[in-house]
């Protein structure tokens, strides 16, 4: 048998796609593959699949292909696609839903992008406000690129683009609480 046999896909695929799409608040049948999302995407050039194609794989029930695509991880969530879609498909939200699903299933098509997104909000949780140096430390340590961008450090410190110590926030525990609630909420959707 050549090609994808659409009749032999496991039912589990369909359920997973349905719940994934539901989380994004989308309806897959709305997409008629016009390609406007891909046409306006600022990151599309770096993607292995066009955003339109990611949706197409979901429409066909080919979950594995959609989850192992790099495109959702390259997506900058700029929302251009969602804003311009003629059928109001929330494409950026679908990309986010795919990232979550892939994360749950341990699918990491781009390891470092995954790590970056994993630690991106960590300083917020720790200090109540973002702290770039902490984020860089975690990312560089886990990604194995220990001294990446190290040479930028003096200039950035000098021009106060980076701060050595995190900013002091009055009620950092309240921020942490908000974030934890958000995470819990996201789990429940």
Partner 1 sequence: MARAGVFICHCGSNIASVIDVEQVAKSAEQMTGVVYAATNKYACSISGQEMMKQAIIDHQLDRLVIASCTPRMHETTFRKMLGKTSVNPYMLEVANIREQCSWVHTDKEKATAKAIDLVRMSLAKVLKNQPLFTSSIPVCKKCLVIGGGIAGIQAALDIADGGYEVTLVEREPSLGGKMVMLDKTFPTLDCSACISTPKMAEVGAHPRIKLMSSCEVSAVSGYIGNFEVTIKQNPRYVDHDICTGCGLCEEKCPTKLKSSFDQGLGQRKAIYKLFPQAVPAKPVIDAQHCTKLTKDKCGVCAKVCPLGCINFADQESYTTDTFGAIILATGYQLIDWGSHYPEYGGGAYADVISGLQFERLVNASGPTEGKIKRPSDGAQPKSVAIIKCVGSRDVAKAHGYCSRACCMYAAKHAHQTIEKIAGAQVYIFYIDVRTPGKAYEEFYDRTREDGAVYIRGRVSKIYEENGKLICKGEDTLIGKQVTVEVDLVVLETAMEPAANSGQTAALAGVSADKDGWLTEAHPKLRPVETQSAGVFLCGTAQGPKDIPDTVAQASAAAAKVLGLLAKDELETSPMISAVDTSKCSGCRFCEQVCPVKAISMIDIPSIYNGQKVKRTVAQVNSGLCSGCGACSAACRTGCIDLLGFTNKQILEEVDALWQ
Report the interface residues with partner 1, using CB under 8 A.
1-8, 27, 29-30, 32-33, 52-53, 56-57, 59-60
Q: Radius of gyration of the chain from Cα atoms?
A: 19
Q: Calculate the dihedral angle through the C-alpha atoms of 63, 117, 182, 175, rounding to the nearest 10 degrees.
A: 180
CB atoms within 10 A of CB 188: 6
Cα separations in angstroms, 181 against 40, 59, 123: 34, 32, 17
Q: How far apart are alpha carbons 188 and 182 in whole angstroms?
A: 10
Q: Which is closer to partner 1, CB of 13 or CB of 134?
A: 13
Minimum CB–partner distance for residue 166 and partner 1 (Å)? 46
Closest contact distance (angstroms) between CB of 55 and partner 1 is 9
Cβ-in-10-Å burial (0-12, 13-18, 19+) of 172 comes to middle
* Distance of alpha carbon 71 from the chain centroid: 9
**CB of 111 vs partner 1, minimal distance in Å:** 25
Quote the least distance from Cβ 151 to partner 1, whole Å.
42
Kindly tell me which of 4 and 129 has the beta carbon lying closer to partner 1.
4
Residue 175, both tokens: 């921020």
Which residue number, 5 or 188, has a Cβ lying nearer to partner 1?
Answer: 5
d(CA 35, CA 81): 10
Q: Which is nearer to partner 1, 86 or 144 (CB)?
A: 86
**Least Cβ distance, residue 107 to partner 1 (angstroms):** 19
Q: CB-wise, 2 or 146, nearer to partner 1?
A: 2
**What would the two tokens of residue 103 be?**
């994360």
């Amino acid at each position: 048998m050549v090609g994808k046999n659409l009749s032999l896909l496991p039912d589990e695929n369909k359920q997973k796609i349905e719940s994934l799409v539901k989380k994004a608040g989308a309806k897959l049948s709305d997409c008629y593959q016009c390609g406007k999302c891909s046409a306006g995407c600022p990151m599309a050039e770096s993607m292995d699949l066009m955003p339109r194609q990611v949706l197409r794989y979901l429409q066909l029930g080919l979950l594995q292909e959609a989850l192992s695509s790099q495109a959702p991880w390259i997506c900058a969530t700029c929302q251009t696609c969602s804003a311009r879609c003629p059928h109001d498909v929330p494409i950026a939200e679908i990309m986010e839903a795919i990232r979550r699903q892939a994360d749950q299933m341990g699918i990491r098509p781009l390891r470092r992008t995954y790590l970056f997104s994993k630690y991106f909000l960590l300083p917020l949780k720790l200090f109540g406000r973002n702290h770039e140096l902490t984020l860089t430390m975690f990312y560089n340590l886990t990604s194995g690129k220990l001294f990446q961008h190290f040479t930028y450090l003096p200039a950035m410190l000098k021009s106060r683009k980076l701060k050595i110590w995190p900013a002091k926030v009055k009620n950092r525990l309240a921020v942490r609480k908000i974030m934890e609630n958000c995470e819990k909420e996201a789990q429940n959707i």
